[in-house]
Amino acid sequence: MPPSAELVTDKGYDSQALREWLDERGTQAVIPPRENRKIQYDYDRTIYKQRNVIERMFCRFKDRRRIATRFDRNLKNIMGAIGLAAPVIFWL
């Protein structure tokens, strides 16, 4: 897969090695710096605020027991279950 334009993560993934690797790939790191970091990097706050939409989607998937516990061990079956659950979650 081609590298993404941005990687949005939380403070737990703020490391210099990750930032350098993302720069090599041409990906913008949207990671708020930890408070104890000596060099406080700037990040796009508007993109970071949209991160909660994705996190809420994963939380809604986890409400579905079949998906959260991964009853289906076959990749095709689990992706099918996610494909069926996604429109239902979207409309709720």
Contact 68, 78 (CB under 8 A): no
| pLDDT score, position 25 | 93
| pLDDT score, position 24 | 94
Segment holding 30, helix H or strand E = strand 28-30
CA distance 84 to 81: 5
| pLDDT score, position 3 | 84
Domain that holds residue 64: 54-91
- 1 is a domain residue: no
- 40 is a domain residue: yes
The pTM assigned to this predicted structure is: 0.65
Same domain as 70, residue 86 = yes
Residues in the chain with pLDDT values less than 70 = 92
| pLDDT score, position 64 | 77
Total domain count, the chain: 2
| pLDDT score, position 92 | 66
Same domain as 10, residue 44 = yes
| pLDDT score, position 61 | 79
Same domain as 38, residue 71 = no
